[in-house]
Structure 1
Amino acid sequence: MSMKKIYLFVLLALGAMSLSACSGSRASIVNSWSGLSADGELAYLAAGSHVYAVDVTNGNEVWRYPAEADSGILFYATPVLTTDGQLLIGSEGTNHEFISLDPATGKENWAKPFTGAKSKWVASPLVFNDTIYAPNSDGFLYILDLSGNKVSDPIELGGTLWSSPVTDGTNLYLTSLDHSLYVIDMATGKVGEPVDLGGAAPSAPVLGEGGVYVGSFSSKVEFIKSTGEREVLSTAANWIWGTPTLDTNTLYYADLSGNLYSMDLATSKQNWDSVQPDGPVVASPQVMEDQIYVVTESGSLLALDRDAKVVWEKTVGGNIYTAPAFSGNVVLVAPYKADFALAAYDIDGKQAWTFTPEK
């Protein structure tokens, strides 16, 4: 699938989910990509009409939210766990709810969801110092306390916000589909002059020393300081969709031509010639111990060592647009248009189980 077709797929998927919500029909888990996160016991899968909690030891469903499908609620953002025991996620549905769940039971924590946004929740929130920073597709950054109450007026940024913020403790860094990186002073809420990335940035930057590393549809990887100073580190062969992954002094990133890159940040040189799996790479590469895990639009999961040698490769099926998640030594993968919604592999590539929600 070409980069333009992938982008069109995402836009059409958003529309399809919204239309299914308006019609009152049950949204299928194959309508779009899924959001995926995990802790030591459960995987949390945001897949259409429900958020599912799945036991990582056996693939059994522990709970789903809501218990019955609601035409106004749809999910595909990555659920976020907080240190005080909440699971936060926003809905793509027509009611625009931002919800807090108990990770153990799936019950709502707040007296009522936050409903102050005007559009879809695609991005996951950032939680820092007991404050929730939640970007919405309406172009505003909403600031809430851990009970879901507004801390201050939302910050208008413009453009469509699909990515999560990152912070260095002083500034927030947030990308937008309007080609911009925004730097926001956390103490004052003041927004600096937007940095023009030259292309849409649907995924978050990654924090580095003194700034952030950003990939975008300009095909460039840049390092941008809080002052707006910037350095282009590399130009990929195609659009960069996923967030780069920083592992000590190595930056891993991939493009929609299916190239996987590894850059030594000390020298700004590539550690290897670009590696090409079997299809475009939308999701961020993930690192666990000495292996890099990559998923492709063609439905494959690969584990590579740090010299780019393929340790193992598995055909998961469907298309994979969601980054793998980890629970202990379990690798979790959520495919689109597959025979199941979630699969678990051990670090040797053996499939442990698959999960398909019951109707």
Structure 2
Amino acid sequence: MLLRRLILIAAGVIFLLILTGCTACKSVSGQCPQVKWRVHIGTPRDTRVDAPVAVAKGMVFVGASERRADGSKWGKEVHYLQGLRSADGGFVWHCEVAGYTISRPVVQNDVVYFASGRGRLYASKAFDGQVKWAVPIWDNTSAPVLDGSEVYLASNQQIQSPGPGSVIALNSATGIDKWQARPRFPIAHTPAVSDHLVFVADGDGLLALERETGREHWRFALKYPTTTPAVLSRDLVYVADSISLYSLEQSTGRERWRFTPERDSASIEALLIRNNTAFIVLNYRPPEGRRSGTLIALDLAQVRELWRIQVPHAIDDEPTWDDGLIYLSAEDYLYAVNVTQGKLVWRYRGRGYLLAPVVADDVLYLGDWNGDLTALILPR
């Protein structure tokens, strides 16, 4: 088993070396994504895109932060959401908000919902950015989750009073609280919502709350803090700590199985589930030297590893699935991997630290910490 793994890793490294070069993209087939447009968000200085974008209604919604000169030594930090035309990246509107680090936006019924890291949850009109409502929240807030007439989010602190964490349910039309749950441990991840339950990964394990009331339905404790949000598939819920992936029954929290991959000293840091396959991100972060990332494909029916691929950069965000490919943002690089064989198809070098890509209508949208938003036409 160890020999086989070393051979696979060596083959992957050789393959990556073949792709190494000075151009923005290297491809096995010769087909690379083409830049449709690229825009810089905000002013030319000290701007960064904060989170993956949302694409809907012919628009791209992007949260950003920038530092503006105000006569002080460090300047004033400003945070905002922008609406751009998806066709050409043209500016449509700008909504400045309180707090820092805009969350990933979510769009429903011509309204875009987003949270600031310290300040508020906002609902703005998608076409002009006009704020419909805003409610106060505390630090370290997750991205909102919309389901029907309700919006859910989690915070590391409770609303209006210091505490370990909150899970909040609100009316999506008005922003009025439906309930607020207060788990015993800090919450670092976006909730997952089923017909009857809300699942939240916190510092102790996985918590299932009744959707109507917010009351605790069950709790599953993990040995180590969770490193991924809860992910739902059929009647099961999946969550990982740094060591293992767990499969639990949604209704009872009973453990079906756990999978602990061969990982050396790497830790599980992200999870995606599609078509009865789990895609598990492992990252190796040594105190000194180069970091690296590994993507593992796991057959959920047989709990069997299908393949793994290693890249010479840490994979710091959740993978993105589209049309038979998995896209990985790994530091300054974007990797496209075939989902059936785990083979690298192409590699694209960005202009800065890349966030998770979003794909819509054969176009991939990619923000970075240099403040650029790039639209790439995908090869088909």
The answer to whether the 8 Å contact 2:218/2:252 transfers is no
Instruction: Compute the TM-score of the two structures, normalised by the length of structure 1.
Output: 0.75
Amino acid paired to 1:159: D
- The Cα offsets for residues 254-296 of structure 1, whole Å up to 9 and x where unpaired, read as 11x231111133553322233235222222x212223211111
The answer to whether the 8 Å contact 1:174/1:182 transfers is yes
Name the residue aligned to 1:259: 244
Name the residue aligned to 1:301: 295
CA distance in 2, matches of 1:212, 1:199: 16
Name the residue aligned to 1:225: 211
CA distance in 2, matches of 1:265, 1:228: 16
CA distance in 2, matches of 1:68, 1:176: 28
CA distance in 2, matches of 1:68, 1:62: 20
Amino acid paired to 2:132: S
DSSP-derived class of the 2:49 partner: coil
Matches within 5 A, 1:110-259: 110=92, 112-115=93-96, 117-161=97-141, 163-178=142-157, 179-255=165-241, 257-259=242-244
Name the residue aligned to 1:343: 335
Instruction: Compute the TM-score of the two structures, normalised by the length of structure 2.
Output: 0.71
Please report how far the alpha carbon of residue 120 of structure 1 lies from its aligned counterpart in structure 2 after TM superposition. 2.2
Gaps of 5+ in 1: 1-56
Q: Does 1:352 align with 2:326?
A: no
**Larger relative contact order, structure 1 or 2 (CA cutoff 8 Å, min sep 6):** 2
CA distance in 1, matches of 2:316, 2:94: 28
CA distance in 2, matches of 1:301, 1:185: 38
- Does 261-270 or 166-175 show the bigger shift? 261-270
Amino acid paired to 2:278: I
CA distance in 1, matches of 2:192, 2:154: 11
- Residue 316 and residue 223 in structure 1: after superposition, are their counterparts in 2 closer, same or farther (change >3 A)? farther
DSSP-derived class of the 2:83 partner: strand
Gaps of 5+ in 2: 1-30, 67-76, 158-164, 285-292, 353-380
The answer to whether the 8 Å contact 1:96/1:120 transfers is yes
- The Cα offsets for residues 119-166 of structure 1, whole Å up to 9 and x where unpaired, read as 2234112212111111111230111101243343411123332x1211
Amino acid paired to 1:150: Q
CA distance in 1, matches of 2:208, 2:227: 14
**Larger radius of gyration, structure 1 or 2?**
2
From 24, 28, 47, the equivalent of 1:73 is 47
Q: Does 1:317 align with 2:312?
A: yes
Identity rate of aligned residues, in percent?
A: 21
- Residue 266 and residue 201 in structure 1: after superposition, are their counterparts in 2 closer, same or farther (change >3 A)? closer
- Residue 222 and residue 333 in structure 1: after superposition, are their counterparts in 2 closer, same or farther (change >3 A)? same
CA distance in 2, matches of 1:291, 1:206: 18
Please report how far the alpha carbon of residue 197 of structure 1 lies from its aligned counterpart in structure 2 after TM superposition. 2.0
The answer to whether the 8 Å contact 1:259/1:277 transfers is no
Name the residue aligned to 1:14: none
- Does 304-313 or 285-294 show the bigger shift? 285-294
List structure 1 segments (4+ residues) > 3 angstroms apart after TM superposition: 59-62
CA distance in 1, matches of 2:171, 2:260: 38
Q: How many residues align?
A: 294
Please report how far the alpha carbon of residue 101 of structure 1 lies from its aligned counterpart in structure 2 after TM superposition. 2.3
DSSP-derived class of the 1:321 partner: coil
